[in-house]
Amino acid sequence: ITTNASTSTSASASASTSTSRTAAVKHHDRRTLFQDAAAFVIPASLVLSPSSPSHAISSQEAESSYNQYAPTYDTLDGGSVADSLGIEQARSKILQLATGKVLEIGAGTGLNLGKYKFASSPGAMDGVTSLTLVDISPGMMAEAKAKLSSLNVYVPDFVEVAFVKADATKDLIHLFSAESKSTDDRDRGYFDTVVE
C-alpha cells in the first residue's frame, strides 16, 4: 500500500491524498485478488512432486467408462469441433502414411478407419496390408465394427482387419511379441506402423 507521508491542512491536498490512498488500496486489492485467484486455480496440493505418486484409473474403470461413452464418443473426439480445430485434416494426413502391418492402439470407435490408405496388392508397401485394432472397451469396438461395415471405403479382400480386446498398459507384449502363442503368425513379432 502506498501512503502519502506528508500531512496537509489544505482540503485539496487532503482530497488528493485520499484519492491516492484509495487508488493504491484498489490496486493492491486487485493484485491480491489475482494472486489469490491464481493460487485457487492451481493449488499447490495439485502439483505433483517426485515423492507424491499419481494414480491413474484402473483398467476396469477405463473399460467401464469407455463402454458408457461409446455411443456418443465420436461427438467428443470427432465431429465439427475436431474439424474446426484441424484435427480431422491432421489425422487424415498422418494416417495416409501408415504402411504394411498396422497396429492401432486405443482404436476406440474407429474414427481412423476411413482415413487409412490400403495397399494396392498383398505384398505392396504402398498402404496398409493388415490392420489390428486394439481397445480395452467392447463397447468402443462394437462401434468401430459397425463403422467399418457402414463406411464407404473399399477395404481389399487381402487386408485382414482384426479387433483385439486388450489393456494396452499390460497386454501388448504378451499378445504380440515374437514368442507369443496367443496370436497367429501374422501379428507375431512386429508391425510396420503403430498408431496410438
The pLDDT tens digits for 103-153 are: 999 999 999 999 999 999 998 999 999 999 999 999 999 999 999 989 887
Residue 180, Cβ density class (10 Å: 0-12 exposed, 13-18 middle, ≥19 buried): middle
pLDDT at 193 over 80: yes
Please say if the pLDDT value at position 46 is more than 50.
no
φ, ψ (nearest 5 deg) of residue 111: -55, -25
pLDDT of residue 99: 96
pTM over 0.85: no
Q: What is the pLDDT of residues 64-87, one digit of tens each?
A: 988 888 888 888 777 788 888 888
Instruction: State the Cα–Cα distance between residues 175 and 151, nearest whole angstrom.
Output: 28
**What pLDDT shows up at residue 27?**
44
The whole-number average pLDDT for the span 166-178 is 83
pLDDT mean across residues, the chain: 75
Higher pLDDT, 30 or 62: 62
Span 49-68, pLDDT tens digits: 455 555 678 889 988 988 88
Per-residue pLDDT band for 166 (boundaries 50, 70, 90) equals very high
What pLDDT, on the 0 to 100 scale, is given for residue 72? 85
pLDDT score of 97? 95
**Does 38 have pLDDT greater than 50?**
no
Q: What is the pLDDT of residue 47?
A: 43
